[in-house]
Structure 1
Amino acid sequence: MEPVTPLIKWAQRHDKILLSICVSDLKDEKINLDQKSLTFNGTGGNNVKYACKFNFYQEVVPQESKHKKFGLELFLSIQKKESGGGYWPRLLEAKGKVPYLQVDFNRWKDEDESDEDVDQFNDGLENLMHRMDVGGGSAGNGGGFDPGDEAPDSDDEELPELES
């Protein structure tokens, strides 16, 4: 059976590319990152084989890049070789639309936005995901609300009188 190409989401900063390879329950992953390309192979849930290979728009620095596996994705932070070179017009060397590649709007930041605001958001998000990953919280009941309690309903409030 031919491997399936996974959904890949991407965002960027002046100095790095942020990639999410969306494969749940990933195991046996192999990542080969060199200056111009990324090759990925792995097995997801239900023993589905995934694979992809592509060339970047410009060169990256593999030694300064890192990755972390979460339950639903493999996250990669890839250092751009020319960090002061600004934003790339696209991720891939080849022009054109690629069906498995999407913009990651949760991590996207425009060139004129402050790095601090977005990085603080991403750091908080990564800390939350780490706590959930190690059992410090639960996605289903992380707010301390007991499902047996009756939640306040905004529809029960009285409406103000209309003015004449």
Structure 2
Amino acid sequence: MSCFSRHPTLKWAQRSDKVNLTIELPDAKDVKVTLKPEGKFNFSATKDGVPYEVDVDLFDNVNVKESKFYVGPRSIVYVVKKAEKKWWSRLLKQEGKPPAFVKVDWDKWIDEDDENETSGKNSGDKDFSKKQARKRRKSKKKKNLLQNMLSKLKLDCICKA
């Protein structure tokens, strides 16, 4: 790691079968991400000519082939498939307080006891085509509801006249 590089914020949340890593670095350029089976995770990118890096050892082994990442305009999301389906006691292999740039992603976090109740909800899997289709359906529902309400109001007004 270069002595001049910075650390972007690394947010994490887990399920029994995967870990969601979100690197907050808007407008990142030259993004390079590597993940090794023993849990070695490396990230590097530049923003406005400044290098950013993350080099950490995850708590346990991972399945590289079934893991996937997405580079978006505001962040880089990596869904890391665990080698074994179990809850990790922490994100990093090293014990003690994690580095300041590593934070819990409370938006995606669920407790171990609640995993079965919320399976499928907010799982962290990125399938943006499904997300867009849901938005269109919701928008259409709202529009139909509004049209129904307006037509009822119009009928009520005509009847009273």
Normalised by the size of structure 1, how large is the TM-score?
0.70
Post-superposition CA distance 1:109-142 (Å, at most 9, x none):
11111346253334798649964xxxx99xxxxx
Q: Which residue of 1 aligns with 2:17?
A: 15
Structure 2 counterpart of 1:53, from 52, 55, 58:
55
Look up the SS of the partner of 1:119 in the other structure: coil
CA gap of 1:104–1:126, structure 2 versus 1, over 3 A, is farther
CA gap of 1:125–1:27, structure 2 versus 1, over 3 A, is same
Q: Which residue of 1 aligns with 2:95?
A: 95
Look up the SS of the partner of 1:5 in the other structure: coil
Gapped runs of 5+ residues in structure 1?
Answer: 138-142, 145-164
- CA apart distance, 1:102: 0.3
Q: Which residue of 2 aligns with 1:156?
A: none
Structure 2 counterpart of 1:67, from 62, 66, 69:
69
CA gap of 1:4–1:124, structure 2 versus 1, over 3 A, is closer
- CA apart distance, 1:7: 0.6
Q: What percent identity do the matched residue pairs reach?
A: 29
Q: Which residue of 1 aligns with 2:121?
A: 120
Aligned-partner residue type, residue 84 of structure 2: E
Given that 1:109 and 1:118 are in contact with CA atoms closer than 8 Å, whether structure 2 keeps it comes out as no
Gapped runs of 5+ residues in structure 2?
Answer: 137-141, 144-161
d(CA) in 2 for partners of 1:112, 1:12: 12
Task: Please show how residues 138-149 of structure 1 align to structure 2 within 5 Å.
Answer: none
Q: Which residue of 1 aligns with 2:146?
A: none
d(CA) in 2 for partners of 1:37, 1:125: 22
Over aligned residue pairs, what C-alpha RMSD do you find? 2.8
Aligned-partner residue type, residue 56 of structure 1: L
How many residue pairs get aligned? The number is: 132
Task: Please show how residues 20-35 of structure 1 align to structure 2 within 5 Å.
Answer: 20-35=22-37
